[in-house]
Amino acid sequence: MKRAIILVLDSLGLGSSEDAHLYGDSGSDTLGHIIEECDSSNADNSERSGPLLIPNLIRWGLGEAAIASRNKPLPITRVEPQGAFGYAKEVSAGKDTPSGHWEICGLPVPFEWGTFPVIDNCFPASLLKDLMEQGQIEGTLANKHASGTQVIEEFGEEHIASGFPICYTSADSVFQIAAHEEHFGLERLYKLCRVAKKLVDPLEITRVIARPFTGNSKDGFERTANRKDLTTPPNDLTLLDHIQDANGQVVSVGKIGDIFSNQGVSYTVKAKNNMGLVDQLLSEMIKLKNGLIFVNLVDFDTKFGHRRDVAGYALALEQFDKRIPEIESGLDNDDLVLITADHGCDPTWPGNDHTREHVPVIFYGKSIKNNNLGKRDSFADMGQTIASHLGIKALNNGKACNLN
């Protein structure tokens, strides 16, 4: 079996898709708007300034994919791509993390997951009552849609004083619980989230996320790398299962294992930030010579997209771009690398939620030639292409890209 690497630049959308109006996202464009803001010096901070500098991603084909997706120019230096490039629209009904990842791996989610209404006190009273009784807690805080960092700033001190966990949600199908690692306890938080997952399953809520944090005041609270996602398992086989059935290994770098409820995952390695995850990828490339290394670079989404931090997002892209030569140096002759995303999260867009966008489809490898893949009708085309590359059983969905 050959080797493939999937790099999900979490939330790096390439412009609103045809159905974006159904989600209130017409006109969103994560990468395009970041490039434009940088070009106009609206994304300068103490760590970066000026135009977005991502020469390696442009060289692989990301710039051409972005221009094709938005169908209008971008203020970038255009070069002839060294990889195969295109963009894909999502078949799945939502714009959430599990649906995007599952579809990449050949399993679209055509039904809509359950969500909570966008109102204060958004959780059913019976849900919180059962959570308190079964989770052995005296009360809860927040009970609303909120940004994770903002809700910790708002309720963190009260949480420490009362011992009540902070329960909140977003536009996604998710129930999130934030608690202090020391004052509340990390294992206690994980246990409470396991209780919560059983309680929200009848509501078709996809994920319960443990959001541990540290610090002693709202000016010093900081979320830690000990996040844990409890996700409904995929309802059918994915690319990961097919690889394992063919005696290949699947390595999760970051939160991939959580997203797939560890179905089809051989083992997981984690790190506290994007650069740490790239370090882990490089380490696994030395160890694993066949199968799949599957990486999610979550900071783009959680630290910058949701927080509407254009400068931070731009800096994170530039930092990742500088690591690409290291990835290239570790590639064997028949390796295939995919760069993509699972949804958008435009940092210039109103609100704090994901945006319904096309995603990049960038394939790179020493044997891959410049090839315009155009618009793909499903994220599943990416998984089907990797299945073909690895020489394993074809997936039930998707059409393999022609990389020759």
What are 209's two structure tokens? 């996320």
d(CA 383, CA 381) in angstroms, rounded, equals 6
Tell me what pLDDT residue 174 has.
96
Q: Domain segments of the chain: what residues?
A: 3-107+234-390, 125-230
Fold of 3-107+234-390: Alkaline Phosphatase, subunit A (3.40.720)
Tell me what pLDDT residue 362 has.
98
d(CA 390, CA 296) in angstroms, rounded, equals 20
Output the tens digit of pLDDT for each of the chain's 404 residues.
999 999 999 999 999 999 999 999 999 999 999 999 999 999 999 999 999 999 999 999 999 999 999 999 999 999 999 999 999 999 999 899 999 999 999 999 988 899 999 999 999 999 999 999 999 999 999 999 998 888 999 999 999 999 999 999 998 899 999 999 999 999 999 999 999 999 999 999 999 999 999 998 878 999 998 999 999 999 999 999 999 999 999 999 999 999 999 999 999 999 999 999 999 999 999 999 999 999 999 999 999 999 999 999 999 999 999 999 999 999 999 999 999 999 999 999 999 899 999 999 999 999 999 999 999 999 999 999 999 999 999 999 999 999 98
Asked if the domains at 3-107+234-390 and 125-230 fall in one CATH topology, the answer is no
Tell me what pLDDT residue 248 has.
98
Do the beta carbons of residue 6 and residue 295 sit within 8 Å? yes
Half-sphere exposure of 302 (CA within 13 A, CB side): 18
The CATH class, in words, for 125-230 is alpha beta
Sign of CA dihedral 157, 160, 164, 169: positive
Phi and psi angles of residue 257, each rounded to the nearest 5 degrees, phi first: -55, -40
pTM for the whole structure: 0.93
Do the beta carbons of residue 345 and residue 25 sit within 8 Å? no
| Residue recorded with tokens 């329960």 | 167
Do the beta carbons of residue 359 and residue 13 sit within 8 Å? yes
Tell me what pLDDT residue 212 has.
97
Tell me what pLDDT residue 346 has.
98
Half-sphere exposure of 311 (CA within 13 A, CB side): 11
Tell me what pLDDT residue 112 has.
87
| Residue recorded with tokens 């109102």 | 119
What are 193's two structure tokens? 């989230």
Tell me what pLDDT residue 161 has.
97
